[in-house]
Structure 1
């Protein structure tokens, strides 16, 4: 698409964008929560076409999320460049349900975006969404929200934005901790970023929660420590009063300036399925053009406060994504689009060398385990998509199962699995968990005796059309045939929850092997094909 950027620029689960520019290169870091390796970083030269270049948190010294609950792990990274190196700040959230949160904030650095990335420096645990501000005088300051575990009448637990200096020589925070901004009446003040422009310190925050009341707020002060005056037209960006906008949940933003001096705002958004408030693609990243008005305040270039699907950018040629990608597992490294869950020891989950040309998964703990689960998957990034794989697997009993999975978290998944039936036959089973939190009721569909031939590969497929999900299979080179009922793909979303509040990730499609007997039975996958239907 020429002269226009179409949103979102990072489709599928890519929330909490932090953007920086180095000369002609732009980089966006996004949250990965419980998926390993931690933090996604995409690169672009034109703000329209983006490519995943690295996930920097790759080893136990940097990140170990075994035991982290669903939607914990990496929250809201901040990526910046100063003094000839990249600086990456991130939270490893260990608990977030209830009054208390246990989130630990760290800093890693690297000379190039590809690394090598350093071991982490521990910063603090006072709250999440940390951000590093590099002031003009060379001093560096950390800002993050303060978590207040008390439930006060008329208030919330977001206790304002804290500021403290970071000493690069001593590699730790130093000096007084100051609360520089309490937020506005929208409450839930988080996601802080500081900028300096024309003698002002500008503070950008997210407010209103990461759901449908989300928003971007700005305030400014002549002094770093405040007081900060709120933007006269606050909020700067939101869809909280625009329920028909295709980009809902707009908030959690960051700013970047082009070499020509133009300003762009990247922000979180969600695209609910038509007629619903269900977003299986999770929270995504979009971009908007902004201007600094004569009064020194930032506003959207098109006027108003709401994001647009298309952003004018003369000279841009935004490429459409490929309609199909196929992975034959011919390399000894996992294809870039795939991740696994929580553990820094992937060799216990899978191997690409044990049987060349196959991804071998070793059956580990049950579906939804927070510790060691052999599940390798990629993001769903389109409402209309399909996935296929070829599986060779010989289970001994019903406690061993492997196959193709659509996975949101431990209480929200649909799973087409090969296992053993009561009569000893190798069979197909369709399992669904419908998030009846906290019980997590598991449904086993009637597959009408789908018996498989021993020693024969089976093809497994899934088709998603907005809210409908249908599994299919084929034995050997036989014809595809549907199996099980049409399932609810809307369940696999942030909002498809039985809890009082939602989750934070998005649906994944991938391969899984589970052996709750503890014998580690392997399953071999010959290929994985993902198709998206562009509309």
Structure 2
């Protein structure tokens, strides 16, 4: 296996992988975004193509009132008995639910709530007699015990009704590092292996493993635990953890896992959020040992262009807490995406926003739009409290930065007619204090005389660490007043090596 890393760049955390014949399928967390839980296909575990989303209808997730960082957490995707099974926590929503589909592209079921599974990061595994086990992290999200962590738990369930068949029992919960989570259970040649994450999903993230003769234990931990971690190293890929094992096409083993590519003088800021990586796994004395995660050499980059000529939007488009099909149209003005505003802005929990994940450290996004009947633009968004916007309408073009409770706006007159808006992210290359942040975000507009820059902003304030976010940057189109017609969206990005890490001054 020749790994390409990141395997799925940009905001694609908590990967789970399953094999069906010669095909591999991957699912990731999506939190408050819809459509939810993106699904990918590959034949080699390194080149992935998005084939759809598991959550495409109202009611599958209860996101209407979900707070930021709630929603779809840490799915586990499995192929069993000729069907595809996906178990996920709808955090602060429906709780843990189990969805099924005959084909990975869907349609997926509405989801069966798992009664008696109070926690996050559920896993599915079946014994040889057909018994279904759900193993999960016992973080309590609601009730009087909200915030309490009960370690790794397990319960047998009826997967068709979602009912627990017993009282949950504690399992092996790691080496004592903080926040044991992301359990995955496997029967490998008659031995049951329990792989978990611990150390927190930040820089201390790690993978640890235990084994037993039975799916319910007792488990013994690997003497070399944690078997994978990038903490306290100078590796360009940090936060490595939340791994899922799978056999490779040549009969070996690999692990799909999350990681981050921090930038800046002290590598303190991750603009793209948590991404999906892949690494090979060796076996020593009956234990799986993942190799350190390597970052691929930069390539020529890639792009995504949508002229809105298709009958439906590409599955890579996503919106916040609502489905964009409810307030956009591809037929109202052929060759355009028409976005209908409702008065909400990017500061609100349900903006009229349709976005694409930023997947490269160097990125340029342009949008051609007609604001004759409304106001709208482009936004680089992390959440409703951290976003940079460039918008047109009402005879003006304005750039806007929202950083927590601080808002600043730059404005200049705009000539009537179509306008092109642009957002660029350019990595900072300085090695002194001018290189503290990961990049500079530039907001520009062109109404016919070439691009004029309205603002150049520090990318530190729209990074995962500053926003304390589980997500990453999403750059997209929005409308705040009337209707806005977009007739072209173009994204192009590439990566270049990060500057060598520097000691703290």
1:323 corresponds in structure 2 to 302
SS at match of 2:372: coil
The alpha carbon displacement at 1:259 in A equals 4.7
1:189 corresponds in structure 2 to 180
Is 1:470 matched with 2:431? no
Task: Name the CA distance, whole Å, in 1 between partners of 2:257 and 2:186.
Answer: 16
Q: Do the aligned residues in 2 keep the contact of 1:348 with 1:362 (CA within 8 Å)?
A: no
2:382 corresponds in structure 1 to 408
The alpha carbon displacement at 1:320 in A equals 5.5
* 1:451 pairs with one of 390, 413, 416: 413
2:33 corresponds in structure 1 to 35
TM-score by length of 1: 0.85
Q: Do the aligned residues in 2 keep the contact of 1:23 with 1:259 (CA within 8 Å)?
A: no
Q: Do the aligned residues in 2 keep the contact of 1:103 with 1:128 (CA within 8 Å)?
A: no
SS at match of 2:152: strand
Q: Do the aligned residues in 1 keep the contact of 2:382 with 2:469 (CA within 8 Å)?
A: no
Alignment of 1:205-216 (within 5 A): 205-216=196-207
2:16 corresponds in structure 1 to 18
The alpha carbon displacement at 1:384 in A equals 0.6
Task: Name the CA distance, whole Å, in 2 between partners of 1:527 and 1:12.
Answer: 22
SS at match of 1:428: strand
1:442 corresponds in structure 2 to 407
Task: Name the CA distance, whole Å, in 2 between partners of 1:140 and 1:219.
Answer: 20
The alpha carbon displacement at 1:470 in A equals 0.9
SS at match of 2:3: strand
The alpha carbon displacement at 1:471 in A equals 1.3
Greater shift, 162-171 or 10-19, is seen at: 162-171
Is 1:157 matched with 2:128? no
SS at match of 2:460: helix
The alpha carbon displacement at 1:59 in A equals 0.6
2:422 corresponds in structure 1 to 461
Question: Are the structure 2 counterparts of residues 321 and 168 from structure 1 closer, same or farther at C-alpha, using a change threshold of 3 Å?
Answer: farther
Task: Name the CA distance, whole Å, in 1 between partners of 2:494 and 2:136.
Answer: 40
The alpha carbon displacement at 1:269 in A equals 0.1
Is 1:427 matched with 2:388? no
Q: Deviations over 1:436-455 (max 9, x none)?
A: xxxx221113x3xx21123x
TM-score by length of 2: 0.90
Report how many residues are paired. Answer: 478
Q: Do the aligned residues in 2 keep the contact of 1:167 with 1:174 (CA within 8 Å)?
A: yes
* 1:495 pairs with one of 442, 465, 484: 465
Greater shift, 77-86 or 272-281, is seen at: 272-281
Task: Name the CA distance, whole Å, in 1 between partners of 2:210 and 2:82.
Answer: 29
Task: Name the CA distance, whole Å, in 1 between partners of 2:300 and 2:328.
Answer: 28
The alpha carbon displacement at 1:136 in A equals 2.1
1:333 corresponds in structure 2 to 312
The alpha carbon displacement at 1:321 in A equals 7.1
* 2:57 pairs with one of 59, 66, 90: 59
2:436 corresponds in structure 1 to none
* 2:166 pairs with one of 168, 171, 175: 175
Q: CA RMSD in A?
A: 2.1
Q: Do the aligned residues in 2 keep the contact of 1:87 with 1:110 (CA within 8 Å)?
A: yes
The alpha carbon displacement at 1:62 in A equals 1.2
Q: Do the aligned residues in 2 keep the contact of 1:158 with 1:187 (CA within 8 Å)?
A: no
Task: Name the CA distance, whole Å, in 2 between partners of 1:322 and 1:53.
Answer: 21
